[in-house]
Amino acid sequence: MRGANHNFFNTEWTPGISQAPSFDDWFDQRHRLCARNSDTRLTATEQRRAGLSWVTAAVRLFGAGETSMLEALDASGAVTVPKLRDGAVWTHALGGDRRLVRPGTDAAAGGPGQLCRAMATGGFLFHRRLPICGVGLNELRMLHWFVGRTNGLPWPVQLLAEWQRAGPAGGLALDDPLDATGSDTSLDLRVTVDPREGAAPLRVRLTDADGSTWTSARQNLIAMTGHYIRTWWAQTLRVDLAAAPPRLDRAALTEVALVASSGSGRVWLLDAAARRPALLPVPDRSVPTVSVPRRTSTDEGDPGDRIEVDWQLSAPAPSPGRFAIVARSSFRASGGSVSLVRVPAGVSSGTVQIDYDSDTTDDLPTTRLGLEVVPLRDLAVGSDVGRLIVRDDDPNVRARVTRRDPSVNRGGRMTWVVRLNKAVDYKFEIFAGGPRTRPESEMMRVGDARRRWVDDHVGGRPKALLGPRVFELLRFRPGDHVERVSVPTRVNSLVHEHPRTLTLRFEGRGLDGGAERSTIRLR
């Protein structure tokens, strides 16, 4: 539903009239398509009317069996209703009465087209056998939305068809003949148009097992996109098979090809299907759901060890199925490791090995990983998000504070060195600050330090005590061993010169008791 915003779906969430806290979360008010005052954006009232219209159609179709509602829920083009002015909605019944043909699964590429992986740019290392759909385009866009950008998932295959002149642009050679018989059967193709290339006028050429061909009438697919929208919209290209001549054997279609009618263009074919305008009967069984534990705790283990996580199905698998578990440091973060699981028929539980970089280096006490279940074949999601807590079992890091010199002459540099006994695998900080000591008359003053260092680090008048103004953070990054605190002194103090001291208190991970004091004397 283009031009709509989910925050306006009902009055309880419509900004300005709702009791609940709500807001318009489209913030770019200069955008010509989606800003509040844009002509292409539905008003709040129109959005609620649209929602009511399609919810009502769904209830009448699924609850009362009124198949006439398929005109709204499974349309070949944009659907409009009077209450929406010139608003339009695109629909497609993925679960309708269809026999589906999927590129790379049920059909190979035919003609000049080529198969590609519908995935985010950046994952090509895991799919070298196939190019990426849309490679070279904005990497924040992908042809099918998925949480984050996770390499290693078996992203769906699509057919890329591009052309520089009118004529054949690519198609599918079916593994098995497709039966598209029936007086009201159509052939539906889900097609995504590259919005940079503009509208795509296309015809569809069908070939049967005897080699007879027929080319449908031309249809014009518009280019749909939106600013900040990560999905490129697919449209239904519906071929009316009643117009096909008798010589075409609709019971044995073997090739489906796109024929371009323009000088250039680019589209992606997601799938093709023989569609009958009806609902499938409710199945007598449910697809088993996959669940992972809400919380699993384990020790890190030795280098090379893998961590096992239990999984459970709601019922034994009636047929072989597949799913994946994505483990990452936070939900919806990019990246993460992928573990693919094949479930044999009759199996209802098992374990999966999760890749984890076990080592002998000190880590944080616990590392928390989110586990996301991604069903791939003949399985659905149950408890789809779990948590894996990995306890570090390596010896803790130890930190030691030393002085380069216990005393320095005026004009010299006071330096403390904080040294770790080994590298760590995480970032952490040790704080260094100057406590008040007794007697204060022996404490260094701001005027004892060099002016540039004072301006950059502490500020203050020359007679002010220096120690309480010192605030240094020593940042250790993974692999670091040593950090330093250094205070340059003046040859000629701005205050009365006599021996003074500067004491720093170090606080942080690895220090004995969590804190340590160290003093350097200024002669």
In sequence order, what DSSP letters do the residues of 103-116 get, joined into one string? BTTTEEEETT-EEE
* CA–CA distance, 140 with 30 (Å, rounded to integer): 21
CA distance 205 to 345: 39
Helix (H, G, I), strand (E, B) or coil at 1: coil
Residue with tokens 């052309």: 163
Q: Where in the chain is the domain with CATH 2.60.40.2950?
A: 399-522
Provide the pLDDT for residue 347: 96
CB 221 within 8 A of CB 202: yes
Domain with CATH 2.60.120.260 in the chain: 97-276
What's residue 312's pLDDT? 93
Q: Where in the chain is the domain with CATH 2.60.40.2030?
A: 289-391
Whole-number Å distance between alpha carbons of 290 and 298: 21
CA-to-CA separations, 232 to 145, 229, 311, in angstroms, rounded: 9, 8, 34
Displacement of CA 303 from its chain's centroid (Å): 29
In this predicted structure, what is the pLDDT of residue 286? 82
Task: Give the pLDDT of residue 304.
Answer: 67
Q: Residue 254: helix, strand or coil by DSSP?
A: strand
Interatomic CA distance for residues 428 and 21, integer angstroms = 38
Supply angle C-alpha 255, 205, 259, rounded to 5: 115
Interacting residues of 313 by C-beta distance below 8 A, sequence separation 6+: 288, 289, 290, 291, 343, 347, 348, 349, 379
Q: What is the distance between the alpha carbons of residues 494 and 491, in angstroms, rounded to a whole number?
A: 10
499 and 522 in contact (C-beta within 8 Å)? yes
**Tell me, what amino acid is at 377?**
R
Any idea which architecture 399-522 has in CATH?
Sandwich (2.60)
Asked if residue 107 lies in contact with residue 101, where contact means CB atoms within 8 angstroms, the answer is yes
- Residue ranges in 78-235 assigned as alpha helix (H): none
| C-alpha span between 69 and 61 (Å, rounded) | 6
Q: What is the phi/psi pair of residue 312, to 5°? A: -140, 135
Q: Which CATH superfamily is domain 289-391 in?
A: CalX-beta domain (2.60.40.2030)
Rounded alpha-carbon distances, angstroms, from residue 201 to 113, 207, 308, 493: 17, 20, 52, 84
In the chain, the amino acid numbered 167 is G
Confidence at residue 152, expressed as pLDDT on a 0 to 100 scale: 62
d(CA 22, CA 137): 35
* Backbone conformation region of residue 81, classed left if phi is above 0, alpha if psi is from -120 to 50, else beta: beta
Amino acid letter, 372: E
| Whole-number Å distance between alpha carbons of 234 and 224 | 8
66 touches 60 (CB < 8 A): yes
Point out the residues of the chain with pLDDT beneath 70. 2, 95, 118-132, 134-154, 225-232, 304, 330-336
pLDDT of residue 486: 94
- pTM of the entire predicted model: 0.69
* Sign of the alpha-carbon dihedral angle for 452, 458, 460, 462: negative
Q: Cα dist. 209→30, 206, 248, 309 in Å?
A: 55, 10, 9, 49
Assigned architecture for domain 97-276? Sandwich (2.60)
Question: Residue 440 — φ and ψ, nearest 5°?
Answer: -65, -25
Both tokens of 512, joined, read 């004995």
The enclosing H or E element of 194 equals: none
